[in-house]
Structures are given as C-alpha cells and as structure tokens.
Amino acid sequence: MPIALVESACQEVAAAIYRVRLPLPFALNHVNCYLLRDRDGWTILDAGLNRAEIYAGWQAAFAELGIAPSAIRRIIVTHMHPDHIGLAGRLQQETGAAVFLSPLEWEIAQATWAPNPQRAAIVTAYLRRVGAPAAVGAIVEEQEEKLRRMTQPLPVDVHLLRPGDSITLAERQWNILHAPGHAEGQIIFYAPADRLLLCGDHVLQRITPNIGYWPSSQPDPLGRYLASLRALLALDVALALPGHHGAITDWQGRLHELLAHHDARLEVAFTAAAAGATALEASYHIFNFDRFSPHEVRFAVAEALAHLEYLAAAGRLIRYEKDGFAAYRAA
Ligand SMILES: [Zn+2]
C-alpha cells in the first residue's frame, strides 16, 4: 500500500479521536474505524474485516500514532456486520484487549458467524419469506460463507455494553444509545459536553444505511428505524462520526433527508406490491439490479422486505401466501 494512502487513512477528527479508514472489497469500498485515546491506553471502535490489507492498515495506524499492541485496552463493536466485527477476534488475540458489544448484537453475531448447523434451515425459511426459489439458497450460503471467513476468529470473553449505560472514552463521558434498524442491537455513543456522536452505520452521509429484514430481524425493523431517527432529531449534535463516508455536521438536516428518502421508497414499494408481489418481485421495481453483485442483491431484497413489512404493519398491505411464498398486496 502506498505510504501516502496509509498516512491519509489515519486522521484526528476530534480531540483524542482518530479516524482510521480501511479498504473493503465491496461496492462500498471502505469502512471508518476509530482510535480513541485515554490516559490508560487506547480503544478501537469497530475493527474492519479479517483481511490482510485491513490488518496492514491497522499496523500502519498503530505505527503512525506510536501505539504498542499492549496499549490497546478495549475493542468496541457498534454492530455485528462483518465490516465492523470481522477483525475484532484477531486484534483481541494480538493485543489482549477486552471486547465489548451490546447483548443483542453479540447474540446475533454468534448465531450468524459461528458455525451453526441450523443455518441452512434458517436460510430456507427466509427464502420463502422473500419469495426466492430454494435453489437461491446455495448462492446465499456461499455469500454468507465468504463473509463468515472474514469474521473469524470471533472474539471471546465478550463484555456487554447496555443502552442506558455510560462509558468514558477519549477522556469524555458518553451515553450509550440503542440504534435499531440497520442492525437490531446497534449501539451509538453520545458525548453531550462536546455534542459529539459516534453513530456507527445508523446515520450516514452520501448513502442511506441499508435497512433490511434479515433472518435475525425482529418485526418491522424499518418502523423501529424511523422511530429512532425521529427520536434522535432532539439530540444536539455538532459532529457525528459514522462507519462509512464523511462526518455529519448537519445532524437534523441529514435525519430529515433519511426520513424523506424512506417515505418516498415506501410509496414505490407500495406501488410495486399493490397488485400482489413477493419481496423479490417488488425489489426489481425498487432497485436497478443491472450493476448489483450477489452481495448487493441480498441487501436489495432484504430492504424491499423491510419496506413491505412496514406497510403491512401500517395496514396498507396485507401479507398472503402465493405459490408457497410470502407475498403482499394492497389491503
Ligand atoms: Zn458498515
């Protein structure tokens, strides 16, 4: 990796908070992780995937900031998606750091990324839910297996961070908030004194966070996401540091954009399903599949299902069975 790229990958974005931008092998080609400095050592917030170039990126960041492995005291993971948890286990092994997740994300991380003999049955049930033929199961499992390899080893002796608790990081007091929607048990961190927010993938600039209905989802993830965004409008935020793309300085403005985006997408989803459609069929009307990899198709279908489920919960669509698949039509 060219040295200039490595140097610019590590940047102080607030006092004692450094953003470490690491490469991802996806259409979304990077993840923002953070290094937080305290008197007793450093905290990593989100780890990236277990891949050689990401590991090298961390080594470069440690070298640049003069951090010895033993000075990494804590590794906090905002949510269990592979680009956030993937390297946590390996970094834990090498630094001896304690790893922290929310109880719900740790439970889902183990169910998803640890070897799970029930996984094939879970995938089959999910495919019926989205309207995809059973043959697609092999593609889904292959995709999951690829991602699973980039999350091993999982961390051990995980400590739990609960919404409502507070924690000291980067010499500030942070309130831990539950931020459901993109991931069921995602936690974000708010420092009222500095009006700073470490917002994970809950709110992003430039792209809208994927709000999907996954096998691990509780009912109506989109409804709970939109309720969370509305509640967060009241939060006084000067700077939000997200898991991808740039920092957010117009907090309320970005929340309003995301709320409007989903309002518009809900109307598209309603039109796509009004005469009867599965989530897979509706997703063809909502998204342009031409440029999608199988990885992205999964996100598109999960996002379509989340919108259809929202509309069903709101009473505008009804769920029914069509040729053995779950489908939706206007109420
Ligand atoms: Zn992410």
Which domains can be identified in the chain, with CATH numbers? 3-330 (3.60.15.10)
| 322 Cα–ligand 1 center, Å | 34
Query: Residue 1 above 60 pLDDT?
Result: no
| 170 Cα–ligand 1 center, Å | 22
DSSP 148: H
Average pLDDT, the chain: 94
Query: Residue 206 above 50 pLDDT?
Result: yes
Query: Residue 2 above 60 pLDDT?
Result: no
Query: Residue 7 above 50 pLDDT?
Result: no
Query: Residue 73 above 80 pLDDT?
Result: yes
| 300 Cα–ligand 1 center, Å | 15
pLDDT score recorded for residue 4? 42
- Mean pLDDT score, 38-67: 97
Angstrom distances, CA of residue 192 to CA of 17, 176, 178, 284, 311: 16, 11, 16, 43, 35
Query: Backbone phi, then psi, for 17, in 5-degree steps?
Result: -125, 120
State whether the Cα torsion 224-229-235-238 is positive or negative: positive
- Mean pLDDT score, 276-301: 89
- Mean pLDDT score, 51-71: 96
pLDDT score recorded for residue 286? 93
| 23 Cα–ligand 1 center, Å | 12
| 242 Cα–ligand 1 center, Å | 9
Residue with tokens 């998803």: 112
pLDDT score recorded for residue 135? 84
Query: Residue 308 above 80 pLDDT?
Result: yes
Predicted TM-score (pTM) of this structure: 0.94
DSSP per-residue codes, 168-235: EETTEEEEEEE--SSSTT-EEEEETTTTEEEEETTS-SSSPPP----TTPPS-HHHHHHHHHHHHTTS
pLDDT score recorded for residue 3? 43
Report the interhelical angle of 294-313 vs 221-232 (nearest 10°). 80
| 32 Cα–ligand 1 center, Å | 8
Q: Which residues surround ligand 1, an ion (CB under 5 A)?
A: 83, 201, 243
Residue 138, classified by CB atoms within 10 Å of its CB into exposed (0-12), middle (13-18) or buried (19+), is exposed
| 202 Cα–ligand 1 center, Å | 9
| 245 Cα–ligand 1 center, Å | 10
- Give the whole-angstrom CA distance, residue 244 versus residue 261: 18
- Mean pLDDT score, 9-28: 94
| 13 Cα–ligand 1 center, Å | 19
Query: Residue 238 above 80 pLDDT?
Result: yes
Q: Are 210 and 222 in contact (CB under 8 A)?
A: no
Query: Residue 6 above 80 pLDDT?
Result: no
Q: Which residue has the higher pLDDT, 281 or 137?
A: 281
pLDDT score recorded for residue 8? 54
Closest CA to 189 of 181, 205, 200: 200
| 28 Cα–ligand 1 center, Å | 9
| 46 Cα–ligand 1 center, Å | 9
| 83 Cα–ligand 1 center, Å | 6
**SS3 assignment for 109-146:** HHHHHCCCCCHHHHHHHHHHHHCCCCCHHHHHHHHHHH
